[in-house]
Structure 1
Amino acid sequence: GVSVERPFRAFAVDTKAGQATFTHSLIVVEESAEAFFVDAFQSETMEEATFTSAVVELIVRDNARLRYVQVQDWGRHVWNFMTERSVLGRDAELKSLQVTLGSKFTKNSIGAHLRGENALAEMLGIFFADGDQFFDHHTWQLHEKPYTTSDLEFKGALKERARSVYSGLIKVWEGAQRTDAYQQNRNLVLSREARADTIPNLEIGANDVRCTHGATVSQVEEEHLFYLESRGIPRSEAQKLIVEGFFRPVIDRIPVEEIQGFLEGAIAAKVGY
């Protein structure tokens, strides 16, 4: 029943190029306890390529609560592979945020397995790729028991020659009635050379559920830019406002002002105006 309001923080900092780094984190929140954990991965860009592999396991026991935030800002020399998997017990609650900004290549696999009745998983993601960055996200929401809920929203922006791939799976076991699952991936493409591919999937084994998914890839509308320019806002600033507005619904769902401020600054820097 212990409740820890201040976040635990872990930092992985790469200071040497041309090497491989492997990390494994296990976070267990016992029954009726509550915790908040922040993971940060970062480095400067170096000349030699570096390989990183991280595994994060989140175990949320019955009636426990966990908030988990991961911020990845590796240098452009890094090839990054990350797996985050969580298991939730009865009446457990997980609220997670995945932020992907750095590396040359990133492959993220992120999933929640709801193994207890009335478990709730909220999974948010923000990514912004530029230059020749390549981000690949795969998510899964596994509903094994009835009366479980998952809510996933991943938003990404791409500019220059960047590319992203998203694939998501909602799977509902036979007998997991009254499941409520939502999956949304939205992408904003800011240049002709950038590309985003998105593939949502449903696997439903029960007949009394509410499961929805959606995926969009869009560009900044000329009409929106014209409207802002007609109000005296320069074109570059107008595009910046549109990108900030695109991410705002996810940022507003983050309960920590410090992380909100960091993301606002990082997004502004990526837009480049």
Structure 2
Amino acid sequence: TDLFELKLQSLKETAAAYIHIVVKSGVKATMHEHILNKDFTGVIIDIALEEHAEVTYIADQRHEKNQFVIALRRAFVGKEAKMKWIDIAIGASIANSSIYTILEQPRSVGETYGLFYGRETQFHDITHTTIHVAEHTESNLKTHGVLEDMSKTIYRSLIDIREHAFNAVGHQKEETLLLSKSAQISSVPDLEIANNEVSCSHGVSTTNVDDESLFYFQSRGMDTETAKQAMLQGHLGSIVDMIENEALRADIISDIIRQT
């Protein structure tokens, strides 16, 4: 599928926007969103997927250090349609990103893959939620993060299975790598289940990189910075690899390396 560019830019330093996208029945599309404002941006993006539509939406949040961004993105998924989010959170002084996927019709699918990388005093507030309304719906939430210096992230994830969403399947997993003793992660996974005919799982893990871990790499000829880059790329790589566009994938990887 072609890559559709959605670049959000205002002539003013601050901006707010609402965007509504309808994806017609049977259409397959990949969208790349990039917010270019310099100061404060608030945006709401709604996507409605009709029957059998498939959308991959890349929320490319590689912001300047002084940016303050609040973004709410929602998908309303029709019968046998599939919504795939790739949420890239790098940069910004403060970034608040919320993604909601509402599986409204039978056999609809929602996938949310997230990546966050915090440095210095950056703060990310991330929410990933999937709501199962109809029967035979499926969801998967997977996020990997790396924090160093004095950066902080709050990550909230929720799978909400409603009363009539029989035979729903939902999974969530979040993994964070801490490269500094001063970095902080607060993970809040949650399940809300209103019927018994479901299959669900959730998990969270946090790994602290200690001197022993660095020594393993240093004993193989790597200096400290190269060792950190190797661990960072290894941890975030599985999420970046979800991006099928080779040029965009390479650009994000090089940007991550540049900031280490």
Band the TM-score falls in, shorter-chain normalisation: over 0.9
Of 240, 250, 253, the residue aligned with 2:239 is: 250
SS in 1 for 2:36: strand
Q: What does 1:98-113 align with in structure 2 at a 5 Å threshold?
A: 98-113=87-102
1:10 maps to which residue? Answer: 6
1:14 deviates by: 5.7
Distance in 2 (CA, whole Å) between partners of 1:96 and 1:189 is 24
Distance in 1 (CA, whole Å) between partners of 2:113 and 2:87 is 6
Distance in 2 (CA, whole Å) between partners of 1:232 and 1:217 is 27
**Gap runs ≥5 in structure 1:** 45-49
Distance in 1 (CA, whole Å) between partners of 2:196 and 2:36 is 45
SS in 1 for 2:91: coil
Distance in 1 (CA, whole Å) between partners of 2:252 and 2:218 is 26
1:47 maps to which residue? Answer: none
SS in 2 for 1:207: coil
1:237 aligns with 2:226: yes
Mapped contact 1:130–1:160 kept (Cα < 8 A): yes
1:15 deviates by: 6.4
Look up the equivalent residue of 1:192 and give its one-letter code.
Answer: K
Distance 1:43 1:159, change over 3 A: farther
Q: What does 1:1-273 align with in structure 2 at a 5 Å threshold?
A: 5-13=1-9, 19-42=13-36, 50-271=39-260
Mapped contact 1:151–1:181 kept (Cα < 8 A): yes
Distance 1:267 1:15, change over 3 A: farther
Between Structure 1 and Structure 2, how many residues are aligned? 260
1:221 deviates by: 4.3
Mapped contact 1:42–1:72 kept (Cα < 8 A): no
Mapped contact 1:8–1:37 kept (Cα < 8 A): yes
Look up the equivalent residue of 1:231 and give its one-letter code.
Answer: R
Distance 1:266 1:78, change over 3 A: same
Look up the equivalent residue of 1:153 and give its one-letter code.
Answer: K
Mapped contact 1:43–1:73 kept (Cα < 8 A): no
1:252 deviates by: 2.0
Look up the equivalent residue of 1:89 and give its one-letter code.
Answer: G
Percent identity, please. 25
Distance 1:148 1:221, change over 3 A: farther
Structure 1 residue ranges (4+ consecutive) displaced by more than 6 angstroms after TM superposition: none
Mapped contact 2:180–2:209 kept (Cα < 8 A): no
1:100 deviates by: 1.2
TM-score (norm 1): 0.90
Residue range with higher mean Cα deviation, 110-119 or 243-252: 243-252
CA shift digits 1:147-206 (9 cap, x unpaired): 111111111111111111011111101121211111112111111111110000000111
SS in 1 for 2:249: helix
Look up the equivalent residue of 2:187 and give its one-letter code.
Answer: T
Distance 1:148 1:78, change over 3 A: same
Distance in 2 (CA, whole Å) between partners of 1:14 and 1:87 is 27
Look up the equivalent residue of 2:115 and give its one-letter code.
Answer: I
Cα RMSD for the two superposed structures: 1.6
1:224 deviates by: 3.2
